[in-house]
Structure 1
Amino acid sequence: MKTIVVGAGIAGLSTAWELTRRGHAVTLLEQGPIPNPLAASGDHHRIIRRAYGPGSGYGKAISEAYDAWGALWSDLGQSHYDARGFLCVSRAAGDDTDLYREGMEKGGWPIELFSAEEAARRWPFLEAGSFRYAFHSPEGGALHCRRIAAGIGEWLRANGADVREHMQVVAVDCEAGSVKLADGDSLTADQVVVTAGAWVTKLFPDLVSELTTYRTAVAYLEPPTDLKQAWEAAPVILDVGGDTDGYIIPRSGDGGLKFGSGLHKRQQDDASAAREPEDGEGEAILRLFSPPIARVDEYTVSNVVTCAYTFTDDQRFFATRKGRCLVVSACSGHGYKFGTAVGRRVAAAVENGDTQDLIRWLRAEDM
């Protein structure tokens, strides 16, 4: 089967990888370079973890994702995963850390609980009197996104896929199975898979009622000198408690110490606009982390990276079939970890035509 994949973020790359493994003729089109730093999955590192609330279903889906990542490492001949575990900090009853703890305990997945005082002794960048407790999981860590994208791109070329960078798709004819390129050319295939991330509503304006585009940013920081060693050895921090929706990835791979918060976002219909960091944006992100991070006034901002994501109201994956076109998008900022598993599932749906089964899995409805 001849398939065009539009967009080379992690979902598009993984779909192209799995289709190529299955023997299909794949053309992968990316509007920028691979990896594309403007893409949602174009930053240096992202978190992989099992922690979800007990009713979400995504905690179980991580097992399939780990298996798919393992298959990718085998094909690439190297792993781009830093298995350093993850930490959650609770600052208020009922916050996300409480939910994640409940989900981990219900699933029977191992965690270790720490009082605030114990956690601050073990991880001295935490401010002991500012949170209720913490828990640590040995499973999880950081995925190195740019290394993964470059590696899959190289593998695809070596295995016969047609990979075209700087090739912008401006329209999709789902009935004909064709795409129109910015240079005026058109390509046709048996199936078209659109994994265009935050640009998907430019190709399908009717999806704006289900997919909302947001601009966000993360701050790369230099910690106080006496805390550098603690950060180097730290797990990823999935949640800093309260309503901050804050996460932290220590230096890993090519990426430095990164702070990001779900509070720091704004709706923005054009994913390409206003991508330059604003004055003081990194410092504003940093302030969201005090508490529970101690001595934030001693950290310095080394870089700010902006991102664009599509979000759904329920923060789950989205997919829809339109003629010979399959559109897959969103997981509202937390979908990278499922990337290779998504690619496997999308490739299966391309082969067997069972879009509803794909949607059920993407929404973790059978978990």
Structure 2
Amino acid sequence: MKVAIVGAGIAGLSLAWALYKRGVAVSLFDQGPIPNPVSSSVDDHRITRHTYGSLTGYGELMPHAFAAYDRLWADLGVTHYLPTGMAYIARTDVDWHGAAAEELDRLKISHRALSLGEIAERLPMIRQDGIVSAFEAGGAGMLFAGRIVADLARWLEEHLVELHPHSRVEAVDPDAGYLIANGMRHDADVVVIAAGAWLQELHPAAAGRMVPSRQTLLYLKPPAAFANAWANAPVIVDQGSGHGAYILPPRNGTRLKIGDHTFTRVGTGGDDRIATAADIAPVRTAAEGILAQFGDYETLETKVCYYTVTDDERFVVEPIGGAGWVLSACSGHGFKLGPVIASGLADAIVGARPVAEIPAWAAARG
């Protein structure tokens, strides 16, 4: 069997790895280098965690996601994960802890409420004014994303997986099982579109359902007064009335990063990645409301990336035509779940798992 994959972000790379492990011949195509720095998968770090609150089903999937990464670390010969724990801070009257407690207890993940005094002592860089409640949970940390995709690409190349960098896929025929890249036809038994924000160009039926979303990240250098606190900080999620910010501390040679989970749902994958004042403003406003002495932070970089999002933030993994699949993440959750979703799809492709169960399983509905 031969499988052609379009897109070499974490989804495509993980699927190539999972299929190779199952004895499948794989060809992997990307319009840029592999890994492609334009891909949203190329980043300092990404959050991973067990709790998902109202996004039911994914909490139960997360132990399998951690296990999939453990299998990947064994193949790569290095672990690109740092457990840090996670602090959840609410500036609105929402009982986050209560919503998460049952799920965390079921998964046997430690958690407890945080007092304002504890926040002031342990997280002095966080503004206390406006905090309504907070809690911390284990089973969380950071995946060093850029290092992961670089080592995955290296592993695939070392194992003679057929890589096609700088190969722009112009068309996919999911019925006949072929694609056209740089004007050349490539045949396969199965073609998988894992093209992220470029999905709609190759699969127009995705329009309106799987939407590109232009997102902006700020990378910061903390002031000296908070350097030690950040060096020992957990991953932080801060929910306010106008933001849903996530903050990753500068650990293991990475930079402090802040982004906002509020989706813009604008743009296309082919747009530029130059951050405008309008891109930056909402993230900067969130940062000013969260970080004490924000004026003392140095902005190292403003970065634009694109996610593909759905209304319910759930993966879309489904067969198309007679010989095709769509593999689409559901926002930034795509990285933490990439290898486990890819492994499930690989099982379906080789006949080790019923095809019919994959869409609901990947969407954490079954």
**TM over 0.5: same fold?**
yes
- Deviation, 1:196, is 0.6
Mark the runs of 5 or more structure 2 residues left unpaired by the alignment: none
Residue in structure 2 matched with residue 30 of structure 1 by the alignment: 30
- Deviation, 1:264, is 6.3
CA distance in structure 2 between the partners assigned to 1:256 and 1:282 by the alignment: 18
SS at match of 1:150: helix
- Deviation, 1:205, is 1.2
CA distance in structure 1 between the partners assigned to 2:189 and 2:253 by the alignment: 38
Counterpart among 287, 298, 302 of residue 300 in structure 1? 298
* 1:4 lines up with 2:37 in the alignment: no
Residues 56 and 297 from structure 1, CA distance in 2 versus in 1: closer, same or farther, beyond 3 angstroms? same
Residue in structure 1 matched with residue 357 of structure 2 by the alignment: 357
Residue in structure 2 matched with residue 288 of structure 1 by the alignment: 286
SS at match of 1:326: strand
Q: Which amino acid aligns with 1:301?
A: T
Deviates more, 1:349-358 or 1:337-346: 349-358
- Deviation, 1:326, is 0.6
SS at match of 2:332: coil
CA distance in structure 1 between the partners assigned to 2:82 and 2:221 by the alignment: 20
- Deviation, 1:110, is 1.1
Residue in structure 1 matched with residue 148 of structure 2 by the alignment: 148
Residues 240 and 299 from structure 1, CA distance in 2 versus in 1: closer, same or farther, beyond 3 angstroms? farther
TM-score by length of 1: 0.93
> Could you list the runs of 4 or more consecutive aligned residues of structure 1 that deviate by over 6 angstroms after TM superposition?
none
CA distance in structure 1 between the partners assigned to 2:176 and 2:151 by the alignment: 32
Q: Over the residues paired in the alignment, what is the CA RMSD in angstroms?
A: 1.9
Residues 18 and 278 from structure 1, CA distance in 2 versus in 1: closer, same or farther, beyond 3 angstroms? same
Q: Which amino acid aligns with 2:341?
A: V
Residues 318 and 280 from structure 1, CA distance in 2 versus in 1: closer, same or farther, beyond 3 angstroms? closer
**Percent identical:** 35
CA distance in structure 2 between the partners assigned to 1:295 and 1:264 by the alignment: 27
* 1:94 lines up with 2:94 in the alignment: yes
Residue in structure 1 matched with residue 235 of structure 2 by the alignment: 236
* 1:313 lines up with 2:296 in the alignment: no
CA distance in structure 1 between the partners assigned to 2:319 and 2:24 by the alignment: 20
CA distance in structure 2 between the partners assigned to 1:159 and 1:291 by the alignment: 48
Residue in structure 2 matched with residue 126 of structure 1 by the alignment: 126
Deviates more, 1:350-359 or 1:62-71: 350-359
Mark the runs of 5 or more structure 1 residues left unpaired by the alignment: none
User: Cα deviations across residues 260-302 of structure 1 (Å, max 9, x unaligned)?
Assistant: 002363411x212132111475464122134332222222211
Question: Are the aligned partners of 2:213 and 2:263 in contact in 1 as well (CA < 8 Å)?
Answer: no
- Deviation, 1:136, is 1.5
SS at match of 2:262: strand
CA distance in structure 2 between the partners assigned to 1:55 and 1:217 by the alignment: 23
Question: Are the aligned partners of 1:287 and 1:296 in contact in 2 as well (CA < 8 Å)?
Answer: no
Question: Are the aligned partners of 2:11 and 2:334 in contact in 1 as well (CA < 8 Å)?
Answer: no
SS at match of 2:47: strand
CA distance in structure 1 between the partners assigned to 2:354 and 2:169 by the alignment: 26
SS at match of 1:66: helix
Residue in structure 2 matched with residue 226 of structure 1 by the alignment: 225
- Deviation, 1:40, is 2.2
Deviates more, 1:281-290 or 1:191-200: 281-290
CA distance in structure 2 between the partners assigned to 1:255 and 1:33 by the alignment: 22
User: Cα deviations across residues 148-190 of structure 1 (Å, max 9, x unaligned)?
Assistant: 1111111111222111211111100111100001x21110011
Q: Which amino acid aligns with 2:342?
A: G
Question: Are the aligned partners of 2:238 and 2:290 in contact in 1 as well (CA < 8 Å)?
Answer: no
CA distance in structure 2 between the partners assigned to 1:57 and 1:31 by the alignment: 34
CA distance in structure 1 between the partners assigned to 2:217 and 2:170 by the alignment: 29
- Deviation, 1:46, is 0.6
- Deviation, 1:58, is 0.4
- Deviation, 1:243, is 4.3
Q: Which amino acid aligns with 2:301?
A: N
Residues 346 and 71 from structure 1, CA distance in 2 versus in 1: closer, same or farther, beyond 3 angstroms? same
Residue in structure 2 matched with residue 217 of structure 1 by the alignment: 216
Question: Are the aligned partners of 2:97 and 2:113 in contact in 1 as well (CA < 8 Å)?
Answer: no
How many equivalent residue pairs? 364
Question: Are the aligned partners of 1:213 and 1:308 in contact in 2 as well (CA < 8 Å)?
Answer: yes
CA distance in structure 2 between the partners assigned to 1:108 and 1:239 by the alignment: 24
* 1:65 lines up with 2:73 in the alignment: no
TM-score by length of 2: 0.94
Deviates more, 1:21-30 or 1:280-289: 280-289
- Deviation, 1:258, is 0.3
CA distance in structure 2 between the partners assigned to 1:7 and 1:266 by the alignment: 21
Matches for 1:240-255 after TM superposition, within 5 Å = 240-255=239-254
* 1:271 lines up with 2:269 in the alignment: yes
